[in-house]
Chains A and B, each alone.
Chain A
């Protein structure tokens, strides 16, 4: 019996199970989802002279408000409209959420702790994360609603415009360290962080993290005052919960990548203490940095309005794409020196 338990524990703690399932994978993504939306509402509330979530667990400022909301979503009837393509309508949000979470498996959360290591793990991340917009378009199409259709198409246009500078600025990061292996990239930053070596690439990448995940002022595909809820207009219940959570999970994955590539990953690492803390600490450092990136992104909601889609496309193609190319050149210069 004890042997069985030990085996199970070993299996769970082995990186190729722990990373996708617990941290930084599914469990922490869900926990973060509950926290980050609460934090977003709380911060916006502070700026807007109101409380934000308050009454669910009042001593802690309503911190489990989102748990309650999720439970409500779970028990709410998921309505599938008669004219919708039922199979696609149900499956697309699940695929969307999965596609947003999947890239996380590539992220190393410690010098020795990763699900797998590859020379091209950066490319694997980018390839996996670019799957998601296709499912948003599918969501918009399957709903058989004009607002959903417009929202899905908007997402399609924007994804195309955002992917190019995102990939180019990520490649600028790779050129900086001369590798596409995320573990090597992280280790290369033990003394100087990537953001100091190539601030331009870091800035462009960070902006695109926020743009890709519909943060304000680029919350365009779901623009409430224009197209109700964009692609997700017809959704209810837990399917809506998945749709709404997808962009936050994507922000989580991209923030982790940003941390690993530009914010020094787990550096600076305190000296080993010889306790159980040692394997946990690098992961905690990565998480804290990624969380800070996410909190900045969510605070933008309280500051900005919303750009029009043509303006966002123009910003992406006319400003950010040339800037990302320039950052590639900068990386070449810095990398040589």
Chain B
């Protein structure tokens, strides 16, 4: 055993550890300094990609939502976009706006989730409880639109399942006013708390060059000063019509990653407000599918303002081909690659999740720092093991 090895001890953090999540962190520590940290992922691998090959195209919609429970709408959207590109159809404008609204609501409560986890990892049970509590109004809002709290399965190939309920914009406005008020409380007790500043500022600094070199995505990339956001770089759905600007920070430390999420919550609220004020009238399902619905059901759809899923969609067969879609999920760029061989099931589905692309940061950032910085950096990355493991 070399001298360096004798000085250090190996610390197995997780998978049974209060702050490890569904993964193991193998840390080598010298006194209070972490010399090396290896993330051991895969504890919650659920074969989502392989399962997709034995399910029909519609059955895959709920499947792809499962890995990222806090951010299901964006995963739903990414997959549906890939299917639509294979089919060569595009959702009608109203459906595109509705998708955007739900994607942004989902982003807000996913960011609150991440901020709550950062709070408890820094030791503040109040930050954790507040963030998780204040997800509720947003989840209620999404429930009103979709009928589900988290696993919405709202977006289907060619459109969305339900139309906007009456009075939705006013209730959304109420929720956002509440959240804006709460964010001020958060700033006083959490974001600008001297202890939080001492624990996050200058800790786990990711330089701009490293962020680009390592292929980091999402808020973690933007906190290092790279203004890259799929919503702007490769706009989809209603984003081209909306006045959107990319939130960035220059410092690249834990505090910057936290602030990017906070500012993105504000930006998302603005986007939802704008989308709800601009939303066009019209159908919420593409003609290709709505014309396959019997007239009796079409009347029912008009009356209930929701979609009866046609048989043509349930047993959807897509001509052979391949398609790629990119969306900006809450944790970063999410890519779907879909291959069809003309059968009712996808021939191959590949899903590259933002958490999987960010896992490299554990190794890169948690080095030559203190043991107490492990949870601080982990929390600031908003890393979600099930999403990375799929």
Chain A residues in the interface with B (C-beta under 8 A): 44, 47-50, 146-147, 150, 216-217, 219-220, 223-228, 301-311
Taking CB atoms, residues of chain B closer than 8 Å to A226 are: 19, 371-372, 374-375
User: A48-B130, A220-B372, A228-B17 are known contacts; what are 5 more A-B pairs with Cβ within 8 Å?
Assistant: A147-B11, A225-B122, A226-B372, A303-B193, A308-B373
A/B interface sample: 10 pairs, CB < 8 A: A48-B126, A217-B123, A217-B195, A224-B18, A225-B19, A225-B375, A303-B189, A304-B124, A306-B122, A306-B123
B11 x A305 contact (CB < 8 A) = no
Q: Which of A146, A147, A223, A308 has the most CB of B within 10 A?
A: A308
* A308 to B371 Cα, complex, angstroms: 9
Chain A hits for B364, CB < 8 A:
none
> In angstroms, how far is the closest chain B Cβ from the Cβ of A49?
5
Provide the bound-state CA to CA distance between A48 and B119, in Å. 13
Q: Determine how close the nearest CB of chain B comes to the CB of A221; give it in whole angstroms.
A: 11
Report the minimal beta-carbon distance from A90 to chain B, rounded to whole angstroms. Answer: 24
Taking a contact as CB atoms under 8 Å apart, the answer to whether A308 and B199 are in contact is yes
Is the CB–CB distance between A301 and B32 below 8 Å? no
Q: Which residues of B contact A217 (CB under 8 A)?
A: 123, 195
The answer to whether A305 and B124 have CB atoms under 8 Å apart is yes
Q: Which residues of chain A are near B373, meaning CB under 8 Å?
A: 308
Whether A44 lies near B195 (C-beta < 8 A) is: no
The 0/1 profile, CB within 8 Å of A marked 1, for residues 99-143 of chain B is 000000000000000000001111111110110010000000000
Chain A residues with Cβ below 8 Å from B196 are 305
Rounded to whole angstroms, the CA-CA distance of A146 and B374 in the bound complex is 16
Lowest 9 A-B CB distances belong to which pairs?
Answer: A306-B123, A225-B19, A48-B129, A305-B122, A225-B375, A308-B372, A305-B124, A305-B195, A305-B123
Q: Which of B9, B17, B126, B374 contacts A44 (CB 8 A)?
A: B126
CB distance from A274 to the nearest CB of B (A): 49
Q: How far is the CA of A47 from the CA of B185 in the complex (A)?
A: 12
Q: Which of A44, A50, A226, A301 has the most CB of B within 10 A?
A: A226
Taking a contact as CB atoms under 8 Å apart, the answer to whether A310 and B371 are in contact is no
B198 on interface, CB distance cutoff 8 Å: yes
Question: B residues 222-238 with Cβ under 8 Å of A?
Answer: none
**Chain A residues within an 8 Å CB radius of B126:** 44, 47-48, 302-303
* Known A49-B130, A310-B32: A219·B11 in contact at CB below 8 Å: no
Give the distance in Å from the alpha carbon of A225 to the alpha carbon of B125 in the complex: 11
Measured CA separation A266–B149 after assembly (Å): 57
Q: Which B positions have Cβ atoms within 8 angstroms of A?
A: 9, 11, 17-19, 32, 119-127, 129-130, 133, 189, 193, 195-196, 198-199, 370-375
A147–B374 alpha-carbon span in the complex (Å):
14
Residue of A nearest to B190 (CB): A305
Q: How far is the CB of A336 from chain B (nearest CB, A)?
A: 37
Q: B136's closest neighbor in chain A, by CB?
A: A49
Q: How far does the alpha carbon of A304 sit from the alpha carbon of B196 in the complex, in Å?
A: 8
Roughly how many angstroms separate A169 CA and B34 CA in the complex, as a whole number? 35
A227 neighbours in B (Cβ, 8 Å) = 371
Give which listed residue, B130, B133, B193, contacts A305 with CB less than 8 A.
B193
* CB < 8 Å neighbour of B11 from A44, A146, A308: A146
Q: Per a CB cutoff under 8 Å, which of A49, A228, A303, A306 touches B18?
A: A228
Complex contact B374–A307 (CB within 8 A): no
- The listed residue with most A CB atoms (<10 A of its CB), out of B9, B198, B373, is B198
Q: Once bound together, how far apart are the Cα atoms of A228 and B133, in whole Å?
A: 25
Cα of A263 to Cα of B247 in the assembled complex, Å = 51
Do the beta carbons of B11 and A216 come within 8 Å of each other? no
Closest Cβ of chain B: how far from A258's Cβ, in Å?
23
Minimal beta-carbon separation of A208 from chain B (angstroms): 17
How far does the Cβ of B6 sit from chain A's closest Cβ, in whole Å?
Answer: 15
A306 and B195 contact, CB distance less than 8 A: yes
Task: Determine if A150 and B371 form an interchain contact, defined as CB atoms under 8 angstroms apart.
Answer: yes
The answer to whether B129 and A223 touch across the interface, beta carbons within 8 angstroms, is: no
A308 proximity list for chain B (CB < 8 A): 198-199, 370, 372-373
Contacts of A49 in B (CB 8 A): 129-130, 133
Chain A residues with Cβ below 8 Å from B133 are 48-50
For the complex, give the distance between the alpha carbons of A225 and B195 in Å: 16
Contacts of B129 in A (CB 8 A): 48-50
- Chain A: minimal CB distance from B305 (Å): 34
Nearest A residue to B193, CB-CB = A305
List of B residues within 8 angstroms of A146 by Cβ: 9, 11
Distance between Cα atoms of A308 and B376 in the complex (Å): 10
